[in-house]
Each structure stands twice: as C-alpha cells, then as structure tokens.
Amino acid sequence: MSDLELLKKEAALRAVALVENGQRVGLGTGSTAKYAIEELGRKLASGELSGVVGVSTSEASEALAREVGIPTEPLDPRPLDIAIDGADEIAPNLDLVKGLGGALVREKMTEVQAGRLIIIADHTKLVTRLGEKAPLPIEILPFGFLSTVERLREIVPGGRLRMNGAQNYVTDNGNYIFDAQLPAEIDPAALERQLKGTLGVVDTGLFLGMAERVFVAAPGGVQELVR
C-alpha cells in the first residue's frame, strides 16, 4: 500500500472512531470510504462496536458492507446518527464537490439525514474554490438527455456527458451524468438552485453546508478540519 493509501486509511480510522454503539451510519462510496466500511466491519466483528446499522450510498458500498458483516437497512425517514464519506473537492468552508464515483444522489439523500457528516480525503482534494480541479457531476434523467445537456450548457458552458467506453455512463439509479466545468467565479448556492431548477436534472454533486469535519490524509499525517 502506498504512503498516501496508508494515510487515507488512517483518516478513515479517525472517522470510524466517532461511531458509537447502536448508531445508524451512512456508508459512503469510493476508495477512501471503502477503508471506513472495512474498519466498521472489523470493529463489529471484534466486538469493539455493537448494534451499528449501515445505510449504503451505492450498490458497491452495500456489497462491501455485506462482505465485511455490517447489517444494513435501506434509507427511510429516520435520521442517521453519522455518515462517513469521501469527496472530490473540499473548499475552505468545507463545502464539497462529490460524485466522481457516480454516487452523488444516493450520497446526498442519505447524508442530508445524518446528524454528522464526516469527510475523509487525501490532501489533493483541498481547493481554494469549488470547480478548481474537478468537474461538477450532475445526474440527469436519460429521457431527453440531449435536451437537458443543452439546457445545462446555457448555465455552465464547459463540460461533457460522462462515458463508459462507447456507452453513456449509467448510475445506480439508471441515470446519466453530465460533468460540468465550473467557471472561476461562481456562487455555489445560486448555482445549485439554478441547476436543480433545470428540467431533467436529478441532483448535483454540490454538498453545501453539510460536512461537519474533514480528516485530511496529508504527507505529515492526518489533519482535522472543522466547520
């Protein structure tokens, strides 16, 4: 395992240390969240934790949770105590871009119900403004998707439909993703309102005002950022 992977794992361990017995936990998606799911499974198997139930944010996380022995339930209206997930960009105020792994809608639906959203990521995800390094994933309905893309291009001129080889990339929800290149000057909250008001858009990878803290895997060790 590379040094950075070891640090990502350490960041995940710090996040899982916040989980308490009997809690309902949102299980994130991606290469960093994977370490958190494995650690949660390990703690349940060893008896360090008990009574924890997971709510998965993707089919991949659900499969991993089952593999490591975490009991899971589908999302329902009850609140979650905590959710642990990765991110693609983290702004200084802990606003996030998520969804490069395609799980943005289930992640947002799950994490908005969590009392605490804990993010784990390596230091390359820190940015001074959202859109600086990564595109903004926007999940759109397959029906009339070219019309939706045209509407989106009027709002964010740069970007393209995500592909999986020669086919359109398909999310766990059966939808497509438009990866938008954000201009330098954006008001994230205004953009979110505008994008979500666009016909054919399901949701965006903007997670604004949601993260409580971030454990950042950096060469000098894991740093903790708090909103």
Which residues contact ligand R5P (rule: CB under 6 A)? 28-33, 85-88, 98-104, 107
Burial of 169 (0-12, 13-18, 19+ CB in 10 A): middle
Cβ 31 to ligand R5P, closest distance in Å? 3
Nearer to ligand R5P, 9 or 98 (CB): 98
Active site residue 5: no
Q: How far apart are CA 80 and CA 97, in angstroms?
A: 21
In angstroms, the Cα distances linking 40 to 53, 56, 107, 124 are: 10, 13, 18, 25
- Residue 51 vs 209, nearer CB to ligand R5P: 209
Euclidean distance between CA atoms 107 and 17, whole angstroms = 21
Spatial neighbors of 82 by CB under 8 A, at least 6 apart, are: 18, 19, 23, 25, 26, 114, 115, 116, 117, 118
Q: Which residues are within 8 A (CB) of 47 and not within 5 positions of it... i.e. 6 or more apart?
A: none
Q: Which residues contact 63 (CB under 8 A, 6 or more apart)?
A: none
* Closer residue to ligand R5P (CB): 48 or 123: 123
Binding positions for substrate are 29-32, 85-88, 98-101, 125
CB nearer ligand R5P, residue 47 or residue 132: 132
Shortest distance in whole angstroms from residue 119 CB to ligand R5P:
8
Please enumerate in sequence order all residues whose Cβ is within 8 A of that of 152, keeping only pairs 6 or more positions apart, or say none: 138, 140, 159, 178, 180, 195, 198, 201
Residue 123 C-beta: closest distance to ligand R5P, Å = 12
To ligand R5P, the closest distance from the beta carbon of 86 in angstroms equals 3
Catalytic residue of the set 62, 89, 107, 192: 107
Q: Which residues are catalytic?
A: 107
